[in-house]
Amino acid sequence: MRNAALILGVIGGLIAMVVGFFGYGYTEVVRNHAEVGQMFGEVSNGQLIQVTSFLAPLLALAGGAMAKVRALWGGILMIVAAVLMFNAFGFGVFTMFPIGFCLVGGLLALAAGKPDEPKSHF
The tens digit of pLDDT for each residue in 50-70 reads 999 999 999 999 999 998 888
Is 117 among the domain residues? Answer: no
Q: Is residue 39 part of a domain?
A: yes
pLDDT in the model for residue 121: 59
Assess whether pLDDT exceeds 90 at residue 107.
yes
What is the dihedral angle through the alpha carbons of 33, 34, 38, 43, rounded to the nearest 10 degrees? 90
Domain that holds residue 90: 2-111
Whether 72 is covered by a domain: the verdict is yes
* Within a domain: 62: yes
List the Cα angle 99/94/24 in 5-degree steps: 90
Given a contact cutoff of 8 angstroms between Cβ atoms, the answer to whether 81 and 56 are in contact is yes
The count of other CB atoms within 10 Å of the CB of residue 30 is 19
Measured CA to CA, the distance from residue 51 to residue 48 in angstroms comes to 5
* pTM (whole model) above 0.75: yes
Domain assignment present for 54:
yes
